Amino acid sequence: MEKELRGKRDKTSSRKVVRIAAGKKSVVLGVTGSIAAYKSAELTSVLVKQGHNVFVVMTQDAAEFISPLTLQTLSKNPVTTNFYDEKESWRPGHIDLADRAHLLLIAPATAHIIAELAHGLAGHPLAAIALATRAPILLAPAMNGKMWQHPATVENVEKLQTRGVEFIGPEEGMLACGYEGIGRLWKVNDIAFRAEFLLARQDNLIA
């Protein structure tokens, strides 16, 4: 009986899961124009502490809520805000990020970026990366509850889900607009945990 159990353990141990080293994983963090954009600083810090290379890509509106310099300092990588930030003339920087990404995480994700992604628009680097990458995409919405529940947003979310895009949140609570209800950005630690889960799942698929 003991030999039989040992044999089973040996067979189990022989099935190794090959994992990408944590430091080798690149997370492209998209930040859009929501009051919740300030939470991207904490999210960046958590992702870096988890051992990932974090590359922040901001929309122009996001830069009105939080400084690119803040996120550059926390991520220890350049922050992209427009196509003209890209210095390499022979290869567009947003395509390099799209290819490098193990995960594209957009937090906060506004109704506008959700609509852009649903319709395949690429008018700024973040939307272009979403169109070009083959990495998993995770969106953490944050907006007014009426905007979140509007049929257009519901349709866009459903369209993205059929393409494999994942969502976390939003949650209910007091909103910046003064309303109370659904629309708040999900908790930062839970977003980071979900990102870690998707990265681990991708590792298992690769193995």
Active site residues: 177
Strands (E), the chain: 26-31, 53-58, 103-109, 137-141, 166-167, 171-174, 180-184
What three-state secondary structure class fits 69?
helix
Beta-carbon count within 10 A of 7 CB: 10
Answer whether the bond into residue 108 is a cis peptide, omega within 30°: yes
Q: Count each helix (H run) and each strand (E run) in the chain, helices first.
A: 9, 7
